[in-house]
A and B are shown apart, each in its own frame.
Chain A
Amino acid sequence: MKVLATYNIKGGVGKTATAVNLAHLAATGGARTLVWDLDPQGAATYCFRIKPKVKGGGKKLIRGKGRLERRIRGTDFERLDLLPADFSYRHLDLVLDATKRATGRIAQRIRPLAEDYDYVFLDCAPSISLVSEAVFAAADALLVPTVPTTLAVRMVKRLVKHLSREGTEVAVLPFFCMVDRRKALHRRICASTDETPLPFLEACIPYASVVEQMSVRRAPLATFAAASRAAKAYADLWAEISSRLAE
């Protein structure tokens, strides 16, 4: 089982679109896939048309001894399931703070799922917090959607530095997202490699209104716009990420 977390401290950069689309691609490709929507905003949950409610709330989920399975719901797509968001997740930091061995909690809760799933996607809330620390500890890789601006790239570097200082072992896979080819800054940043000593993935997701349509259609991109540039870009991204993980 591989655990992938879509992570970025900033909101609105494409974490959820990434999680939903890559998970859908993974499942279509034959892998049993789970998305855990950790964001109290519940965007991924909304995308899958599932009620953002989890029995017992976030507290029970993190601290409870019962298995996660009972709260998981099937999406409309084969081999793709969702552990929904719940508004109580806004208190997850507090719950973790009161828990022993907080950093390992998420890893511990998802470990038994290895029997049932090949991939688990953790769709994170935009923040840096105790929950994020727990996600870093649980994940095999962090997928960091990055808008190609100087400041955004700088944040990625800081994240990598932070992780190495903490000794956290997790692969960081940043990639450019919401790329607008009309902007010179975007073009420059995507092209240059010396400004970004940390290697970004080759695949780039273009800014496309069709991606915003996901929350209107409430479905993964490939189900309604498979021929679009954005859909193809996500497919390339998944191909790149999955082969990286296989190494």
Chain B
Amino acid sequence: MTVPEVTFVADSPRLVRQAVTGLESSFRTRRDGRSGARRSYHDTFDWRLYRYGGALAVDARDGSWVLRWLGPDGSLRQRLQTETIPGFAWDLDAGEFRQDLTGVIDVRRLLPVVHVDVRSETLAILDRREKTVARVHVERGMSAPGDDPSSARPMVERLRVTPVLGYDGDHAAVVRHLDGLSDLHRHTGGELLLALAAVGIEPGSYSSKLDVPLEPRLRASAAAARILTNLLRTMRANEDGTRRDLDSEFLHDFRVAVRRTRSCLGQLKGVFDRKATEPFRRELAWLGGVTGPTRDLDVYLLNMREYRHELSPALASDLDALETYLRERQKTEQRRVSRALASQRYTNFVRDWSAYLDRLASDDSSGAPDAGRGVRDVAGERIRRAFRRVRKRGSDLDADTPPEVVHRLRIDCKKLRYLLEFFRNLFERQRVAPLVRSLKRLQDHLGDFNDLDVQQRELRAMAAEMHGRGVGNADTVLAMGCLIGRLEQRQADLKRRLVESVRSFVGKRNRAGFRELLR
């Protein structure tokens, strides 16, 4: 509707004051008073809103909260008043805001990233009728990290020039004037970025994506150390969120890092000293095992909404007993996970694993056969082997293939995928990206197929368990039975599409793609 606001920063408050004096002599102005605001910016642990472009500001207003979803230039995208600050998107009332927010943050919880306490003085720019045609806000403030509100630091002082609808030219004139001052610089990224800079937080610094820099001639053991250190960092980053069960994805990212670690150790056998890594493999298996049940239950609970849609409204409410049961079980398993992560056993593992990786990175006298080889050679070898395995098992797949074989194909694909992710940076981006995309599509189908299988078996087991404990009634069991039937039907449909998907993945194009990649 109108031009975006423009922010200027200077190296010192004195320079800002000078700029204001300059404005007062070059334009007709009026001091419009001071105001203050306290707000916080929220985002998911993995910075989804930031990556999408923009920020979510939460202001207290008359006993309730005002959420402002801002665009990257500081403009207002959407606004919503709520009684409580949302953790999850589904905490909000149904509407456009919730819908759009869900599209970005999905099942992750919003956490306060930074708290801001701002003082603002407004200078109105006037025309000859003394109408306000633009505004310059002189802003200073303090910012504190979201998880430590007491350690506030001063933010850089800034001038924010806001437009008045229909007076774009006047806004542009003020901006031009300030652009002309050598002591001022334009700042993009809004208040959030200034607040983060003040407390030394780098936005977008966490990502669950694996992106390890590698040089082709790097010693394989040093390369492995880099990859595994990166994965350990991911595990550690997710510890706190997992222990507190802030949302389901902390545990998920933790588990994925554990899985990737185990896969790396398993697929690069000749690179490691088997004896040295054995105790770690055991601990990693323990971590995978103790976190498994909680993850399964998280997935069920996330799927409950979908399940309710599968059934008619009458039957859907009969699932309440199931949901309650699942929540109780989740709490129990989550406690087990929290205890494991708080245990001495875990602390020891992290300490020892860290130390091992440091040694692996700097010196390798293990004598492992592949440790001294160039990583590019080792990677190429393993990837070739993994793709061949997928081709073999995949080309045998048809409508009659039993689920166990499909399951094994899924594992083969996972292994290939992990290898491509570990060694991504050894290859040309446009060569590896389409292969990963194609593999991902296949994996999604395999994953869905597997999920349906697991869900059916689990529902059956749960029904028996609930019956045994006298939880729920005949209606609940019937509803669950109905659900199982639906899932079976979906699985049969999916099988057909799966066969096509596999054929396509192992087809000519990808075969050529892998050949090119590994040349």
Contact = CB atoms under 8 A, between A and B. Distances in A.
Query: Do A and B interact?
Result: yes
Interface of A: 48-51, 69, 71-74, 76, 81, 116, 218
Q: Is the interface of B mostly helix, strand, loop or mixed?
A: loop
Interface string B156-181: 00000000111100000000000000
B132 A73 contact: no
B129 A74 contact: no
Given A49-B129, A73-B165, A76-B124, 13 more contacts: A50-B131, A69-B1, A72-B166, A73-B164, A73-B166, A73-B167, A74-B2, A74-B164, A74-B165, A74-B166, A76-B132, A81-B165, A81-B166
A54 to B, nearest CB: 10
Interface string B343-373: 0000000000000000000000000000000
B229 to A, nearest CB: 52
A56 to B, nearest CB: 14
Contacts of A76: 124, 131-132, 164
A71 B167 CA distance: 10
Given A73-B165, A74-B164, A49 B130 contact: yes
B1 A49 contact: no
A71 B1 contact: no
Contacts of B2: 74
Contacts of B164: 73-74, 76
Q: Is the interface of A mostly helix, strand, loop or mixed?
A: loop
A213 B164 CA distance: 25
Contacts of B166: 71-74, 81
Interface of B: 1-2, 124, 129-132, 164-167
Contacts of A81: 165-166
A72 B165 contact: yes
Contacts of A116: 1
B131 A49 contact: yes
**Sorted from nearest, which 4 A-B pairs have the closest CB atoms?**
A73-B166, A74-B165, A49-B131, A74-B164
A76 B165 CA distance: 10
A120 to B, nearest CB: 15
B134 to A, nearest CB: 10
13 contacts: A49-B129, A50-B129, A69-B1, A71-B166, A72-B166, A73-B164, A73-B165, A73-B166, A74-B2, A74-B165, A74-B166, A81-B165, A81-B166
Contacts of B132: 76
B167 A74 contact: yes
A89 to B, nearest CB: 18
Contacts of B124: 76
Contact of B131 (A48, A69, A72): A48
A30 B131 CA distance: 22
Nearest to B1: A69
Nearest to B81: A30
Nearest to B61: A30
Contacts of B129: 49-51, 218
A49 B30 CA distance: 15
Contacts of A51: 129
A71 B130 CA distance: 20
A195 to B, nearest CB: 43
A4 B396 CA distance: 73
A93 B507 CA distance: 73
Nearest to B135: A76
**Residue among B124, B129, B131, B164 with the highest chain A CB neighbour number at 10 A:** B131
Nearest to B126: A49
Nearest to B165: A74
B182 to A, nearest CB: 31
A216 to B, nearest CB: 13
A76 B133 CA distance: 8
Nearest to A83: B166
A116 B132 CA distance: 22
Contacts of A69: 1
A50 B166 CA distance: 10
A71 B456 CA distance: 62
Nearest to B166: A73
Nearest to B32: A76
A80 to B, nearest CB: 10
A69 B168 CA distance: 13
